[in-house]
């Protein structure tokens, strides 16, 4: 249910941005999604659409930049992108792998729609 937490967090972040800037709603948002938790970006998108209903983010264009998780070999120190849950170092074949923590969700860009002034 990690995607669900991230989607809620994004909706909350956008709500705060709307309030802070006095905007009427969110036009688009670009996020970087990824890291150690193997986030499913399609599940994340669907949950975001669900949670944003009735908020200023409803109908927002969501642009997702996927960041692959990074792993570091404890034996030889090389870093690489692990493609499965039991990664093997491509350099030395070691299974002593550490996942390098990255934030799962980074908001890169928020495009706000400002209220029309009459
Ligand atoms: Zn290695």
pLDDT tens, position by position, 44-58 = 999 999 999 999 999
Residues in the chain: 118
- pLDDT average, residue stretch 69-77: 91
Phi, psi of 87 (to 5 degrees): -70, 150
In terms of DSSP H, where are the helices of the chain?
Answer: 2-21, 41-51
Is-contact 92 73, C-beta < 8 A? yes
Domain that holds residue 45: 2-70+103-113
Q: Give the chain's domain count.
A: 1
Asked if the structure places residue 24 within a domain, the reply is yes
Instruction: Give the Å distance between the CA of 84 and the centre of ligand 1.
Output: 16
Asked if the structure places residue 41 within a domain, the reply is yes
CATH of the domain at 56: 3.30.2320.50
Asked if the structure places residue 77 within a domain, the reply is no
Percentage, residues of the chain above pLDDT 90:
64
Instruction: Give the Å distance between the CA of 78 and the centre of ligand 1.
Output: 6
User: Who's near 101: CB < 8 A, 6+ residues apart?
Assistant: 35, 36
pLDDT at 30: 97
pLDDT at 66: 87
Instruction: Give the Å distance between the CA of 33 and the centre of ligand 1.
Output: 26
Percentage, residues of the chain above pLDDT 70:
92
Instruction: Give the Å distance between the CA of 89 and the centre of ligand 1.
Output: 5
pLDDT at 116: 80
């Amino acid at each position: 249910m990690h995607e669900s937490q991230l989607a809620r967090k994004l909706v909350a972040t956008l709500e705060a941005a709307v309030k802070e800037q006095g905007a009427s709603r969110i036009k688009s948002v670009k996020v970087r999604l990824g890291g150690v938790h193997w986030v499913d970006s399609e599940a994340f998108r669907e949950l975001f659409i669900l949670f944003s209903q009735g908020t200023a983010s409803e109908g927002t264009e969501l642009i997702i930049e996927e960041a692959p998780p990074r792993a570091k070999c404890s034996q030889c120190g090389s870093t690489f992108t692990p493609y499965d849950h039991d990664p093997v170092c491509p350099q030395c074949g070691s299974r002593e792998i550490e996942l390098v923590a990255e934030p799962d969700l980074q908001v890169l860009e928020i495009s706000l729609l400002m209220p029309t002034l009459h």
